[in-house]
A and B are shown apart, each in its own frame.
Chain A
Amino acid sequence: MEENEDRGIVLDESASKTFEHGEKVPLYRSVLLGIAGGLFGLIKWIVGIVIDVLRTLLSIVVSIGKMFYKAGLFVYGLFKDLWHKFKYNDWSGRLSFLLFGASGYAHGQIFNGIILTVFEVAYIVLFFLFGASAIGGLGSLGTNETHQGEVCTEDFCTIDTIYGDNSILVLIFGLLWVLSLLLFFLAWRSSINGGYRNYRIANFMKYRNLIREAEPSAKEIDEDITKNRITGHSFRELKDRYAAVYANLEAKMQPEGGPDAKFALDYSFYLLDGVIRYNREHQETLVRSAKKLAAIDDKIDRYDHGEGYTSKLGKAEGEYAEAQKELDKASERYWSLFDKKEREGLSEEEERAFNGEAKNRRALKNKVLSKGDWLVDFKAYHVKRLDKMQARRRILAAKADEEENHYLNFCAKAAVENDSKYGSSNKFYLRTDEFKLKASFYGSYKEIGEAYDEGYASYEKANADNLSEQAAIKNEFDAKIAKIRANYAEVRANRDKAIAEARLKYSDSPQTIKAVIASLPTEKQIRGMEKEEVDNATHSWKRDTKALKTNYTAESYADYSATSYMMLHCSIPFEKAAPLLKEVKARLTPEEASAHLAETKQAHEDYASKHLDNFDGRPKNLKEQVGSLLDENFHVTLLILPLLGVAFFTIMPLLFSILIAFTNYDFNHYPPGKLFTWIGLDNFASLFNPQPGDVFYGLANDLVGTVLWTLIWAVIATFSNYYLGILYALMINKEGVKFKKFWRTVFVLSIAMPQFISLIALSIILSKGGPMDTLWQAVFGHKFYFLDNDPTLTSSNILLTASYTKLIIILVNIWIGVPYTILQTSGILMNIPKDLYESSEIDGAGKGRQFFSITMPYIRFVLGPSLITTFIGNINNFGVIYFLTGGGPLVRNNALNLGHTDLLITFLYKLVTSSDKARFGIASTIGIVVFALCAFFSIIVYNKSDAVTKEDQFQ
């Protein structure tokens, strides 16, 4: 019974299913277990879906709330920002709030100034001339109906058509003007920001000094808050706490009076305020994440060591052990009877008892098995849930870590911002930096050279060592191979000798010779063994050689050491350090180096004496601005055209169509002849709750059917293509299947030609009286219509026809879609790293297991993300339905031409393109419903896919 002893830790069910050698688990048991498992899975699946839907709804509500909160924060931040930029600014910057581009004139950006001012003036004039009335027109979408009236010229009057408003143009231009307000707002912001930037660039040194002066005080506050982990205090309280720091700073600055001094003090206090606010918030975030972390730690601990788990585990283990004990006892009885039977036979009574024992023992075996299974499942489930919790913990911990480590206090931030954002325009600052770098470089020229030499020497040696070691290994390997060859030559010789001897000895009995030969290893086996040994030796040799390779040559490592020395000890940034390597390699003598140093210092002094006010800055001129569009602002150049294209030809049309859902735009209100207007939510009402007289009255059930069919279609179309495609790809790529390329080409042929061509062809082939019908009749002798669009179908037939039409549509979709999956999966199958299979083979995994634990997860990992896109694509899949059935057969008599196989999208198309009964408003409403469906499912999938657990697997 020792097979059972390690059941507690064996998680592999295939191993646990075999009980004794040759004895399988009874069939009924596995069937029952299978059914139970299936039922359980189904229930779990349904519950999971319900939970997902609820969770998604909740997350939608939460994210809408968050959106409002964020919008509020944005507006608040905007106002704060504007106030700051008004307060700390010069006159031209302040004027920029009203007169666009004013600061440009004052700071030498004449071109920018002119553009902004002209834009402002032109916009305001145009707005009052056209824009205001256009926006006003949005209220009613036009009032002048086109009508017949008198048209008079100077001489005579005639009756003619007088064209009035066109609702759709009123809508388009009105909305365009509304959106242009956004543009105006952006221009305003850019004027303000430009003004502020110009001011800060001009006052770069002033701010730099101010920040430097405030830095020690800021540090004092910052350290105190960080050290004491101050949280839960109001800003006022903290400000009182640091009143002394404020006072000290004020005293240190020694105000001389005047507006400038007041400004300086204001700004310093603004910095200190910022430090307090910022760090207080930071501390609170830290506390929050620590709390979260502690909570999840606690949860993990409770789950792993808590009462619930241990007691349940103990119970399961106890039950298992008890069943095992019972079985052992029963087995003992059984075996003793068995022994007796073998030895002396049994009496009739004993025989009965023996049979009873055997039956009892089988029952107990089953009990042990099921208890063991339960124990294993329980443990596996526990581990799985624990894994999930720990994954969540890892994310939280990483986040908390980032919060802790990426903190920069407000004052330091201001300094960084000042340097990076405004300092790069100040030539003096850049030049000074350059001089300092050079000086620091020549100052430690000797050390850098030493670092270079050291790096060179160390890798020269390492590489030489490697080479000699590689040679040694190679020798060793050659010897090993020679030895293996010699060994097997000997084996072969022995074999030949044995055969020859046998031939001589048993020359009269060919049977015996055959038997002797059979007892010896065959030539093929010897060759196989030899090859295996040689392969193993080669493999380990290659591995060892590879391990000895270094990533660097001596030169490149020397470069690396010198550069890293410069970066670490001379604070020279990498992009400055790399060009300096040339100087390092030039091998200057110490005298030359010190001469260079002196030269640099002299140049620095000269430059500094020339610019006594430490200022040589100005905003970028036109040329520099244009240049930046090809360099650091290249993304603006790249994105402007595509973005405009998307904005005007994708986003705007969608916005309009959403708006149209709230109008009565249809064949009765078709401009330019007739006007349409706003009708509020009437379209939605008539869709969801149709009243007598509405177009959907009496069609409510059919509409629900259409939505359901859309969803079912999307699910089936997505997954049938996915799984069948994978199946076909696996078949084509299976080892031993010949003509792989041929099979692939056959399938790919069907997607290589334009889809509508093959769809039209299929619709003709399957149409009533088409080739397929003819063929069917020729073979089976009776009529069968594959795609029946006959509008005269009676209602009892129509549902049946609709059902198999749907089936045929799905089959055709498989015809269309499977080759895509084949193509993708074939690519993936070739890309799966081979070592995954090799290592799993060593672990003893069979082909089946490899498929389920390597191949499928890999395919799922790569194709998984595209499934949701495919799903949405299928909800909006137009071609297959439109070209095959056009939505038919039609639902009873309905004015809307709704068909049984119509998807929402094809129905929408019908509503829009119907030549005399077009209903645009309702079509847009349906479009919004489609969007809601897609968004809903995307969010469900997005919530479900936990990137964390999957990321670990393949990277």
Chain B
Amino acid sequence: MKSQKTRNIVQLTLIYIILGISAVIWVLPILWIVLQSFAGDSSASAFFAPESWTASNYAYLFGIGHPSYSSSTELDGYFLKWFLNTLIVASCCCIISTSFVLMTAYALSRFRFKGRSLMMKMNLILGMFPGFLGMIILYWVMKEIFHLQGSFWALVIIYSAGSGMGFFVSKGFFDTISRSIDEAAMIDGASRAQIFWHIILPLAKPIVVYTLLTSFMAPWGDYITSSYIIGLQNREQWTVAIGLYQWATGGNTYKVNYYTQYAAGSVIVSIPMTALFMATQKYYVGGVTGGAVKG
């Protein structure tokens, strides 16, 4: 009995040590970003804590002031514009993607029609192609057919048009809603459209919220597609991701790094994103696990 107890204590101590060290490792980079956002000069990026403290990085984001160590004004005053661009893209995507995803998921969950299994299989196969490959053509399509070259509106189309393919989690959720509810409503004379609107959607509120939030959050973190489609010369049209990446790594192009501005911008972008993620994480877990067990 006694040895069990000591063993337990040793185990717990070990676990606390491991968790403590890991926690430091996991938090440190985030802490670094926050500290850097208050740093006085960009050369301080060689150390964890800044040598001089200032809030001017945040002021710079809102178009006030200019970094003292840089003479180039190429990137000044864009952040609010980028933020607004991303907000527009994210909001549009959020609405279109969510409706596409829910529509596809409901149709695949409740209807048995010709080509249904083919659609599910195609979805698997398409997922294996590197998605970036399609961008070569989409760039031309946006330029020559939609005349949206270098505009962030092209991103709205690209992000949301193919979003129906992400139906998997929602379909898993719809599958768990009992079909007898549908049947009961049908006996009462409700049409399928009415069932979808008035019965299934209210029941599926968690998954609707989850889909809304994930599709809203996606455009904020995408650099690859957005930079290829918009291009680096159209600064007016950039999203936050392109802007921040250029600030952090654009040493060659702009002769100077905007590390501290990048850090401040990251903090501003991360706070709402983190809050949203924290609020939805239980749906995230439910989506992954629920679909598999009941699938």
Residues of A within 8 A of B (CB): 166, 168-169, 172, 575, 578-579, 627, 630-632, 634-635, 637-639, 641-643, 645-646, 648-654, 656-657, 660, 728, 731-732, 734, 736-737, 743, 745-758, 760-762, 764-765, 769-771, 773-775, 815, 819, 823-824, 826-828, 831, 861-863, 865-866, 869, 872, 876, 878-879, 882, 905, 908-909, 912-913, 920, 923-924, 927, 930-931, 934-935, 938, 954
Contact = CB atoms under 8 A, between A and B. Distances in A.
20 contacts: A172-B140, A575-B183, A579-B187, A630-B193, A635-B111, A642-B103, A642-B163, A656-B136, A736-B12, A749-B274, A750-B30, A754-B221, A754-B241, A754-B269, A756-B223, A827-B282, A861-B293, A863-B288, A876-B130, A930-B130
Given A753-B266, A760-B249, A938-B124, A771 B288 contact: no
A409 B135 CA distance: 52
B22 A878 contact: no
Given A634-B196, A737-B15, A923-B133, A758 B104 contact: no
Contact of A831 (B32, B221, B278, B289): B289
Nearest to B282: A827
A560 to B, nearest CB: 14
Size class of B's contact patch?
A: 35 or more
B164 interface: yes
Given A746-B27, A770-B46, 6 more contacts: A643-B164, A649-B158, A748-B281, A750-B27, A757-B269, A760-B244
A761 B136 contact: no
Interface string B6-21: 0010011001101100
Contacts of B224: 878-879, 882, 909
A938 B121 CA distance: 12
Given A654-B134, A764-B45, A862-B293, A639 B107 contact: yes
Interface in B165-204: 165, 183, 186-187, 191-194, 196
Nearest to A862: B292
B133 A639 contact: no
A951 B221 CA distance: 38
Contacts of B164: 639, 642-643, 645-646
Contacts of A638: 103-104, 106-107, 196
Interface in B19-71: 19, 22-23, 25-27, 29-30, 32-33, 45-48
Contacts of B256: none
Contacts of A748: 277-278, 281
B144 interface: yes
B100 A645 contact: yes
B247 to A, nearest CB: 9
Contact of A753 (B103, B111, B132, B270): B270
Contacts of A578: 187
Contacts of B286: 827
A163 B221 CA distance: 39
B133 A824 contact: no
B260 to A, nearest CB: 11
Contacts of A643: 164
Contacts of A770: 45-46
B95 interface: no
User: Which 8 A-B pairs give the minimum distances between C-beta atoms?
Assistant: A642-B164, A653-B134, A754-B221, A827-B285, A649-B161, A645-B161, A934-B128, A634-B192
A754 B220 contact: yes
Interface string B102-113: 011011001101
Contacts of B16: 737
Contacts of B162: 645-646, 649-650
A282 B122 CA distance: 31
Contact of A757 (B19, B33, B194): B33
Name which of B26, B125, B137, B223 has the most chain A CB atoms within 10 A of its CB: B137
A743 B26 CA distance: 11
B141 A753 contact: no
A652 B270 contact: no
Given A641-B103, A758-B29, A908-B132, A648 B161 contact: yes
Contact of A172 (B19, B110, B137, B183): B137
B248 interface: yes
Nearest to B24: A746
A121 B113 CA distance: 31
Contacts of B187: 575, 578-579
A627 B104 CA distance: 20
Given A635-B107, A824-B289, A931-B129, A660 B136 contact: yes
B140 A168 contact: yes
B146 to A, nearest CB: 11
B254 interface: no
A913 B225 CA distance: 11
B14 to A, nearest CB: 9
